[in-house]
Amino acid sequence: MKTKGTKYFIFLITLIAALGGFLFGFDMAVVSGIIEPLKLQYGLSAAQEGLFVSCALLGCIVGVGFSGYLSDKIGRKKVLAISAVLFLISAIGFAFSEAYPILILFRVLAGMGVGVASNVSPLYISEVAPSHKRGQLVVFYQLAITIGILAAYISNLFLQRYASSHAGMGNGLLHWLFVENVWRGMFLVGVIPAAAFCLLLMIVPESPRWLVQYGKNEEALGILTKINGAETAQLELNSIKEMASQKSGGYKELLRLPLRKLLTLAMVLTALSQFSGINGVIFYGPTILKSAGIVTSDALFYQVILGSANMLFTFIAIFKVDSWGRRPLYLIGSLCAAFALALTGFCFLMNITGWFMLFSIILFLLFFAFSLGPLKFVISTEIFPTHIRGTALSMCIMTMWVSDWVVNLLFPMLRDGLGIAATFFIFSFFCILSFVYAKKKLFETKGKSLEEIEKAWNLDLKAEKKAMETKVVH
């Protein structure tokens, strides 16, 4: 039987690991407040604007590329610490660099931190979470992302208004950072959560499943006891040890059945989720709101409204993912998100602006926040076996960042070329594709331990091999 102490321990380490999600959200969303002043200061074209925003996503791809393999080799906790240091260095470096190429360099470093956190944070949470709470706790990571996005919006709004009210007043370093070049101060704020993440990781234990994979059973048992209580810790350890006898075959193993099917499922769902255009809405929020008839001076304020909606609606997934299940939430959310995006496109097409336009965007955030947003992390972190989970998840998360890079690189050109209405219709189409694919391929995993899911796939593989052998005989 669990004690309050075990529940508090699980909650504490989940919150600390989820700080990686907070930094992910903050770092990605803070860009929205600096695009316009940066365009003016450096004279950026639409293509250069897209490159500046998307260069961080290239860093994400690099970060994901090494974090999966590294987390399987040296442990989840150490790789999380690497991401925290990358966040800290990039926030300071970007704030104090003036040459445009150096700004790009620090944005790439920030992207690497985001890429590492986006891979290892949900992976770590899924491996320490009890099976009946795993979906809920992994969604906390998505909640942390939305809180980070909202924090960036609020910080940007506050600093923008501070700079406006203190223009021409004072001098010195702080005046240069937070008034003359307020966009630098917007990035510098990220030092606070990055430093907190570095410090708090000291009290986080290593993943028990990773420890068992490397023969550290006593240490794993101690952590499992804190998580699940003494009565069930030994039973869970035995189950983990049973499934941990395999050794990682690396990327080649992922190309063999049944892992190839799992990898295809996770990667397709992840890509389609990002092609819904969510990061286009986040990164280019002020530009979209300006097009929606909201004056430029109020754009950051209305973006705070969008960030608040995105955060609040994520609670639907937290409360329902382990009771309703992954599949129903995904199907309902993807279909309704398609409708909301089509409605937004229709508003732009018919020049229906103002509050109704804002409502249609908030409606999209509602459906995305409890389905396409969090469930790609939940699904990707629980369907792969422990010995290759880090490597497999890194490929899924890399798919996410490549998709994001494409969306954010092309968004300004689609907006200026095809028009913003057509751009939203394209996003809606991808949500429909996501619904169709999930309806055909997505299976339910709620309430099952990671080892039970792995056993089920091993049984499916044996049945498939037997069917193939019977077919050959006949």
CB 461 within 8 A of CB 258: yes
Spatial distance between the Cα atoms of 326 and 332, rounded to a whole number of angstroms:
10
As a whole number, mean pLDDT of residues 30-36 equals: 79
Spatial distance between the Cα atoms of 308 and 310, rounded to a whole number of angstroms:
5
Instruction: Identify the pLDDT of residue 459.
Output: 56
Phi-psi label, residue 443: left if phi above 0, alpha if psi -120 to 50, beta otherwise: beta
pLDDT band at 92 (very low <50, low <70, confident <90, very high): very high
Position 187 pLDDT exceeds 70: yes
Instruction: Identify the pLDDT of residue 468.
Output: 47
Residue 25's Cβ-side half-sphere holds a number of Cα atoms within 13 Å equal to: 30
Higher pLDDT, 427 or 451: 427
As a whole number, mean pLDDT of residues 26-49 equals: 80
Instruction: Identify the pLDDT of residue 324.
Output: 84
Residue 258's Cβ-side half-sphere holds a number of Cα atoms within 13 Å equal to: 17
Whole-prediction pTM value?
0.77
Angle at 368 between CA 297 and CA 64, to 5 degrees: 95
> What's the residue count for the chain?
474
Is the bond preceding residue 37 a cis peptide, omega within 30 degrees? no
Question: Can you name the CATH fold of 4-204+246-473?
Answer: Growth Hormone; Chain: A; (1.20.1250)
Residues ≥6 apart with Cβ < 8 Å to 11: none
Closest CA to 9 of 135, 137, 118: 137
Residue 446 is which amino acid? K
Where do the structural domains in the chain lie, given as residue ranges? 4-204+246-473
Position 2 pLDDT exceeds 80: no
